[in-house]
Structures are given as C-alpha cells and as structure tokens.
Amino acid sequence: MCYVYGDSGNKIIHTANCRYAGMIKNKKYFSTIAAAREAGYVQCKYCSHIRKYMNCEKEELENFCKSNGLYYEFNRKDGALDVISHTGKWKVIVNGQKHFIWLYHKNLHGEKERSLVPGYHSQKIRSSTLMGYMQYIVEHDQYRTENPLYENQMNGKGKTTKADQKRLAGKIRKWQSIRYVTELLNHMNDGILTY
C-alpha cells in the first residue's frame, strides 16, 4: 500500500484512491504508514481506513457508546480510533495489507511487551467490526469492576480476605470514576469529544 503526499507542507497523507490524492500535482509516496508517521504526517480524515469503518457503523456506534458510557474519537496522528471507557483507554487500529482492525488496551503497569502501539498491549479478541470491539470493552470493564481481586494479584500482593476484596473494590471504583471524569474533561478542553 502506498501513501501519497505533496509539496503543500500540510503534512497530510492519503491512500492512493483518495479523491484528494488525485488533486496533488507533484505526488510523493511513503511505502508504509509508520514511515509517514515518523516523518510527522497525519492521515487524511476522509480516506483513513478507520474512518471508513466508523462511517459504516456510525449510528450503531453512537447509540451503543451513549448508553454504555464510552467515548471515542478519530486520532489523525496515528490513524487510530481512541476509546475511553470506565476502566481505561483503548485504541483500535488498522494494520496489514487486508486492513484488519486490532484492539489495544493502555498498559496500567508499565510496558508489558514490545507492541505495535507503544504503551498499549494487544487484546486476543478479533472482530471484523468496531461494534464487536466496543461490546468487548464493555464486557472487559464489567469484569474488571466485578473482580477486583484480579487487580490485587496483578500487583503481586497475593490472596486477600472478603473484607479486603470489598475495600479494594470500593477503592478501584472510586479511582476509575476519578480517572474517567478527568479523561473526559481533558478531551472536552481539547474540543475533541465525540460519542
């Protein structure tokens, strides 16, 4: 796949079949999206593959996200769909020649592995739709809220009593709520909040 750009200095890349790529007089090319990103280019909001997925599922996505407290936005810098949920941040990216979509979750405890998306780790679930990933995110949030012992074991503290689990569950819910509201306020200040 080639990504097209011109001499205008606007640092936007287009897919070869984008109507705006057809308007560029002195075409230049990047062979990969990674090379374009390293050079400081962002993806065209009209021809981005993630935007195509978003447009196909727009109404369903908006309704589902409103009713489940999810917020999403198209990130032109990395061409990803950024999602904020009650328990964290997520990215949905398009990768590969066949433009498959992949889900990544923000690392809570430092770098876990070498990842295609720095600071995030890949999820094992695979879906051909954005809605499939949104449903997974809601289920993941529910599991994390109902199973605070998992968080405690991740921190290496070992087994806990039921009273410890209740206290920990309350602390985690409070922490998640604060972080969730903080993220939403930051996105509102940036003027990029979308349902």
**pLDDT tens per residue across span 32-59:** 777 777 788 887 877 777 877 888 899 9
Cα 71 from chain centre: 10
Contact in structure between 160 and 149 (CB atoms under 8 Å): yes
Contacts (Cβ under 8 Å, ≥6 apart) of 40: 11
DSSP 32: S
pLDDT tens figures, 105-140: 988 766 555 667 788 888 989 998 999 999 999 999
pTM above 0.75, yes or no: no
